[in-house]
Each structure stands twice: as C-alpha cells, then as structure tokens.
Structure 1
Amino acid sequence: MPRCAQDRRRHRVRHRRHQVRCRHPAGPVLQGLPAPVRSPTVKTSATVRALSREFKAQADPEYRKSVQRFFKEPVKLYGVRTPVFREIVRCHWQKVRDLPKHEILGLCEELLALGNGEERGAAFEWALRMRRQLAPADFYRLERWLKRHVSNWAACDSLCCGVLGFFLLDHPGFLSRLRAWARARNRWLRRAAAVAHIVSIRRGRALPQACAVAGILLEDPDDMVQKGYGWMLKEMANSRPREVFDFVMKRRARMPRTALRYAIEKMPRSWKRRAMAKPREA
C-alpha cells in the first residue's frame, strides 16, 4: 500500500478514536448501513441500546467489506475498527462495572441476542473483565454461549481465548468436559475443544488434557478444526517441543497436513523436514 494511503488510513482510525468519549453521546449514524441485526422479540436495556448506537455511529463500511474476506461464511457486523471498538467497550464498561454480577451477565445476554459481531465481542469482553466473580455453575452459561452464539472462527477464538479459557484456568475440573465437545457434530464445539486449552497451556497447565483432545480430533475432516488443534499443539510446543514432536511423529500418517503444519510451525527446520516427509523417508 502506498505511504500516502497508509497515512490517510491511520488518520481515519485516530480520528474515530478521538470521537469516542465516555461522556458524550454517539455521533450521527452513517447513511446506508444496515440496521442492527436483532430479533423482533428481543428487548434491550438502555445500556445495550446506547452501546449499539455508538458501534453503528463509528462503523466503517470499507472496513466491514474488507473483513469479510477472512471468512468463508457471511459475518454480521457494523465494521468498527479494532482500536475504536476497544475504546467503546472500555468506556461503556466503566458505566456498568459496579453492577451486581447477575446484572452484568444479563447485559451480556442481551448483547449476544442482537447477533452482531461487535455486540458479541463486547459481551465476551465484559464477561472476561469479571472472570474473578465467575463460579463453577457459570460454566453452563459459557457453554450455552458457545452453542448458541458462535458461528465463525473469530467468535470461537474470542470466547475460548478469553473468558472461557480463563474460566478453565481457574476451574480446571471442567477441562474433562471438553472431550465431549471434541466429538460433537457442531464444528465450533470441536474447534473450541482444542482452542479453549490454550490459556492454560501458555501457563504450563492442562497438557495431558490437551493431548487427549488432540487424539480425539486427530482425523477430523474439517479444516477449521484441524487449524484449531494444530494451533493448540503449536502452543504446547513452545514449552514442550520434544513431546509435541514425538506426538506428531507417531501419528503423522493419519494427521491432516493442515494440522501438522500448524503444530510444527515453530520447530527446528530439521524436525520439520522429518515430520513432513513421507513415513518411509523419515
């Protein structure tokens, strides 16, 4: 991209961030943008309506179109650039952070019911910010969110590397539940079975459970699932490279190449050659 185009793009992002203020209402709605995706039966609070209005006011149609190329399926979003999105979420969090836990989670449920990417991201972020208040019973709420409100890889990874991943770090007894997800028909549950381990893996935990899930998903035909468990193995390899290499070498004849490439991405070049070679050549 030419430098002048890059400068204009940076200026637009800075300008939009400057417009976001906690004490000021959202600006005028951009013309030609779709209405928020919501069911006619969904009732929203003033807090959620204000957040949605600000997302829509800060929407960038050009950005919305560009994001679609990263997904195979259509995604519903306004097109708020990431720095602006984070600032809006932070500002509105300041207004609700002192509410009781059940009220904040209720607001998250309202946001998820709207069906747009930005509101879903805000719900996951707010839930993450109150992770210390979550109790074991909240696992079933997070599982329900995964089943009902995750329909693409970005939403899956946002939930799994956010509030769900940290919940499992704080309550490791629920890690065993992920094996059932690995056998589910829902592709996003299967991807989540792997990706939800990553927060714990980065802290040196849940390695046996992660290997068990990788074994279940080993021959999964879905490329989104293959990338998910391959990414999980790559994270394991950061601290246990030999263990992951041995895991891969024993199973590489049955392991899809997509998952294999992800798993060995950061390994030494000689190890990569051995892993990618045909079995008789290793």
Structure 2
Amino acid sequence: MKKLIDSLRQRLSDKANRDNAEQMSRYLKNHFIFFGIKTPERREISKLFFQETGILKEPYNEEFVLALWEQPEREFQLLGLDYIAKFQKKLAKHHIAHIEKLITTKSWWDTVDMLAQHPAGTIIAKHPELIEELVDKWAVSEDMWLRRTAIIHQLRYKENTNEDRLYKYIKLNADSKEFFIQKGIGWALREYSKTNPYSVKQFIESNSLAPLSVREGSKYIPKE
C-alpha cells in the first residue's frame, strides 16, 4: 500500500502549483491543504495511475481508499472519489459502513456531497432495508454530515424519489441552524421540484423552513 501511495504522491507533487493551492485552500475555508491541482488535471493523473497500476482490475480496495483519506493534501481524497466512482455499481451492501466512515472523516461538502448522492445513494437504492437499519439514524445523528447525507442521498433518484422519506428527514432537521443542513434541505427540494414541482410547492408552503431552504428549494418552481 505504501508503494501505491508514494507513487501517487510523486505524481501529484510533480504537478503542484502553489498559487492554485492557496486559492483552493481558501475556497474550503482553509480546512485542508492542497497541491493545487485542478479537477481536469487531477482526473488525468487518476486515469494514468489507474491504468499503470492495474488497480481497477482488482476488487474494490477499502484499505487503499482509507490510506488516501489519511493523507493531508485534499487531492488524495478527491482522487479517492475518482476511484470510488469506478466501482460504484459494484459496491455491495456491506460497503455502506465504509462509505459512512469516509463521510464522517475529514468531512466537508466537497467529499460528503459526492459520497452521499453517488455511492451511498446507489447502495441504499439497491438495499432499501438500509433505510430502517441505518439511514433513519443518520437523519437524527449528532454528526451534521450524516444528517446532510440522509437529506440529499436521493438527489439522483428523480421519479424514484421516496417523497415521504425525503419530507420526513427534512422535517426532522427543519429547525437546524447549521448552514449546510439548511442548504442541503434547499438543494434536495430544488432537485425534487424538477420531478414534482407541485408537491414541493405544497410542502414548502405547509412547513416552517429556514429562509435559505425556501429560497433554494423554490428556484425551479413556476411562479403563478
């Protein structure tokens, strides 16, 4: 594993850009340090790394992803998301514990939102028993990022969205003062309004939501 991480570190270091790194760190409120590699170039590095190491031909490697999460530079976690995306359709029910660990480690919107709507959302859709087993607990967790994940994990479900579940989780968090919860509620409503604008309009009008959630959730609802 160390050999893989060292190889990747060298590849990323070779493309480091100090000016970009400072800007990218500021964008994430200085929570993380960066090499300063923008997304298109990072994905090219990912692609070559995956090809040359053959790691995508092997089973999904939780140890590799966790090792990426341990590295200080944010590009390692973002490259981890690139890796997870390659296996998304192959992830099994038991991988949800692994995804939960990633959500709650080095948490910020740039990793959590991708994990929530892609691997987590995909696994939960295939294994709906996880709703009672796990996701209901996320919706009331002390961890803000798990609550946000519960609220937004259906973002890509469209007409398959479980409306009752969506509204239940929003109601459980409607009085939250956390920006990322209010924003997540608005995002989830906005996305679902593309499928069922009347329902979202009725929900917003019938419930007490933060102004930010209302503003975000109403963006695509036709004005009467």
* TM-score calculated relative to the size of structure 2: 0.90
- Which structure 2 residues correspond to residues 258-277 of structure 1 after superposition, within 5 A? 258-270=212-224
Give the equivalent residue in structure 2 for 1:140. 97
Asked if 1:160 corresponds to 2:138, the answer is: no
Report the CA distance between 1:222 and its aligned residue: 0.4
CA–CA separation in structure 2 for the residues paired with 1:113 and 1:248: 41
Asked if 1:192 corresponds to 2:146, the answer is: no
Gaps of 5+ in 1: 1-43, 271-282
Equivalent of 2:137, from 180, 192, 196? Answer: 180
**Cα shift readout 1:9-63 (whole Å, capped 9, x = no counterpart):** xxxxxxxxxxxxxxxxxxxxxxxxxxxxxxxxxxx42122111221122122222
Report the CA distance between 1:100 and its aligned residue: 2.8
Report the CA distance between 1:80 and its aligned residue: 0.7
- Which structure 2 residues correspond to residues 1-282 of structure 1 after superposition, within 5 A? 44-94=1-51, 95-101=54-60, 104-150=61-107, 152-176=108-132, 177-200=134-157, 202=158, 204-251=160-207, 254-270=208-224
The amino acid that maps onto 2:198 is: R
CA–CA separation in structure 2 for the residues paired with 1:232 and 1:131: 21
Report the CA distance between 1:82 and its aligned residue: 0.8
Show structure 1 runs of 4+ deviating over 6 A.
none
CA–CA separation in structure 2 for the residues paired with 1:169 and 1:128: 16
CA–CA separation in structure 1 for the residues paired with 2:30 and 2:206: 34
The amino acid that maps onto 1:117 is: R
Report the CA distance between 1:203 and its aligned residue: 5.2
The amino acid that maps onto 1:262 is: E
CA–CA separation in structure 2 for the residues paired with 1:91 and 1:203: 37
Gaps of 5+ in 2: none
**Cα shift readout 1:146-203 (whole Å, capped 9, x = no counterpart):** 12232x1112112113322222233233234223222222222222221222122x35
* SS state at 2:65 partner: helix
Number of residue pairs matched by the alignment: 221
Superposition RMSD on alpha carbons, in Å? 1.8
**Cα shift readout 1:94-120 (whole Å, capped 9, x = no counterpart):** 22111133xx22211211121431111
Report the CA distance between 1:124 and its aligned residue: 2.2
Give the equivalent residue in structure 2 for 1:278. none
In structure 2, relative to structure 1, the CA distance for the partners of 1:203 and 1:128 (3 Å cut) is farther
**Cα shift readout 1:54-98 (whole Å, capped 9, x = no counterpart):** 112212222222223433452222211110011111222222111
The amino acid that maps onto 1:208 is: D
User: Contact 1:218–1:255 (CA<8 Å) still a contact in 2?
Assistant: yes
* TM-score calculated relative to the size of structure 1: 0.73
The amino acid that maps onto 2:215 is: R
User: Contact 2:138–2:149 (CA<8 Å) still a contact in 1?
Assistant: yes
Amino-acid identity (%): 19
